[in-house]
């Protein structure tokens, strides 16, 4: 093989390796968000190294302690929530990475008449160990918050048309679909 072709192949391999690492990191961050939304402690914990340190405001803990505390906090103030990852920036250096992921979190009140919308960022340090990218440290930065009327949830628009309601356990409709991450 000509030397130029070998160089090109090595360059393509390096680029592919970076793309795969970036996708695995984003998949890890998405898995953590899904674990939060489904109150799935195992799934949430599967996104973190066992020795990870996680800081949500004054709540600082490891895994699974943080998962339990977050689930309790969410359950005390909301009936349903979604953590949507939007803008994602990532810098990879070998088997270490730093990521900043913007989050839009919607939290429906217990009676589902109001909803809080939060804009936040996850600042993550990730390490690749045993061929898996997982979060080693996370800090959550809150940017803004707003509340609004969610009474449409109780309207005939959704109920009469047979839309299912999500849940925080294995009865959630997504668990019937085989392709969603479990751990």
pLDDT digits (tens, 9 = 90+) for 168-182: 888 888 888 866 666
pLDDT in tens, 110-152: 888 899 999 999 999 999 999 999 999 999 999 999 999 988 7
pTM here is 0.87
All structural domains of the chain: 3-164 (3.10.450.50)
Most distant CA pair in the chain: distance in Å?
69
Bridge partners of 104? 84, 119
- Residues 6+ positions from 86 with CB-CB distance below 8 Å: 101, 102, 103, 104
């Amino acid at each position: 093989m000509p030397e130029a072709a070998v160089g090109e192949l090595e360059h393509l391999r390096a680029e592919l390796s970076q793309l795969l690492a970036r996708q695995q990191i984003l998949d890890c961050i998405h898995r953590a968000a899904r674990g939060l939304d489904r109150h799935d402690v195992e799934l949430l914990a599967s996104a973190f190294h066992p020795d990870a340190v996680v800081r949500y405001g004054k709540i600082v803990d490891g895994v699974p302690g943080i998962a339990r505390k977050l689930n309790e906090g969410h359950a005390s103030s909301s009936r349903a929530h979604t953590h949507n990852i939007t803008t994602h920036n990532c810098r990879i250096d070998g088997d270490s990475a730093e990521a900043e992921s913007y989050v839009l979190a919607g939290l429906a009140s217990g009676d589902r008449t109001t909803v809080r919308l939060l804009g936040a960022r996850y600042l993550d340090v990730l390490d690749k160990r045993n061929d898996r990218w997982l979060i080693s440290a996370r800090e959550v930065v809150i940017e803004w918050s707003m509340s609004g009327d969610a009474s449409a949830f109780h309207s005939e628009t959704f109920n009469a048309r047979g839309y299912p309601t999500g849940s925080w356990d294995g009865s959630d409709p997504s668990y019937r679909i085989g392709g969603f991450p479990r751990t």
